[in-house]
Amino acid sequence: MQALLALEDGRIFRGKGYGAKAECYGEVVFNTSLSGYQEIFTDPSYSGQIVVLTNPQIGNYGTNVADNEATRPFIEGLVTREFSPVSSNWRSTQVADEYLERYNVPVIDDIDTRALVRHLRTHGVMRGVISSLETDPDVLVAKARAVRKMDGTDLASVVSTKTRYEWDANDLRNQNDDPLLSPMPAQDAAAPPLHVVAYDFGIKHNILRMLTRENCRVTVVPAQTSASDVLELKPDGVFLSNGPGDPEPVGYAQENIRKLMGKAPIFGICLGHQLIGLALGGKTYKMKFGHHGGNHPVQDTRNGKVQITAHNHNFAVDPDSVKQSEVELTHIDLNDNTLEGLRHKSLPLFSVQYHPEAGPGPHDSQYLFKDFKQMMVAWKG
């Protein structure tokens, strides 16, 4: 089937349609990862976004339950150069075409993704529409201009779990057969597990796997859970997850973080990092086209070491807005000097903008989960 991608500035791309025969709306962003497309599909941080994948061939190794980062895809739509209708991999249980069709996600294929990415890099991310239903470009451009902007939108409460639950690492649906990702007994597995309460602003399964690897029992709570309810669970540590949308309107989370600071160790990733920055009195801003990919060099300012890291964010904390008398700026992106990590100088609290759990991406930064564990052990005394 034929499909069209229309951008709010009037640019039109024509291609072939796969996945669902449908129409989708969202902010168009690009991801430069070379593999891990299923993890990208199912990352809740992509809610409200149409994703352009720069790797030319997508779908060639199919999909399987173990690679999901959530229970379903969260991307609004997918843009590719070459979308494979067949899969060739022993782990595949369903071709990507059928998988996305099942969840009503439309795909546009056979377009010049290099031209599209250059356009977004030059002009910034913008709203768009993919349609295999409407053939009039002017109608689609008008629909793109009517899409709600990401700025000022709280999506964390939309994608969050509605009820509290215990993460079950023994559930086969929550396991991954990659030995670097799968839960495994910690070296001190005989010790009582540490209890982590994880705020779900759009949490990924691999974050929960990594916490489990550090001998943690994880209770996942909805985004709007009060600080008092969290403290009633007697956590050894509080985790603030990744998630979609603008951090600024998520005021309830900022208030809860302020109430939890000094009451338990806190570790934040991605949106969690941005919310910590706001809770500490800082400001956030929207980037021109964000960071989305698995090859970003980040330097630890404390020792000069460089890590290759996975990123997925459109917003960032303004380093000049943070009180450096209270907060240490620990990580900087070497591509554009974006603030990528911070640590409080007197309280057990730290965060990073990038994704140390990968899924997909490199494993350079997984030591941060061990740092969180050590912080909890020291706090517990």
- HSE-up of residue 234 (Cα within 13 Å, Cβ side): 3
Contacts of 301-304 with C-beta under 8 Å, sequence gap 24+, read 301/329, 301/330, 301/331, 301/332, 302/328, 302/330
Q: Among 107, 102, 350, 113, which residue's Cα sits nearest to residue 238?
A: 350
Which of 55-64, 182-191, 319-328 comes out lowest in average pLDDT?
182-191
Rounded mean pLDDT, 274-296: 97
* DSSP run (H or E) holding 232: helix 227-232
Rounded mean pLDDT, 123-135: 97
Enter the tokens of residue 153: 């939108």
The structure's pTM equals: 0.95
Q: Which residues are catalytic?
A: 270, 355, 357
Q: Is the pLDDT of residue 46 over 80?
A: yes
Indicate the pLDDT class of residue 174, thresholds 50, 70 and 90. Answer: confident
Average pLDDT value for the chain: 95
Query: In which residue are the tokens 């689609």 written?
Result: 140
Question: What pLDDT sits at residue 161?
Answer: 97
Q: Is the pLDDT of residue 191 over 90?
A: no
Structural domains in the chain? 2-145 (3.50.30.20), 156-380 (3.40.50.880)
- The DSSP call for residue 101 is H
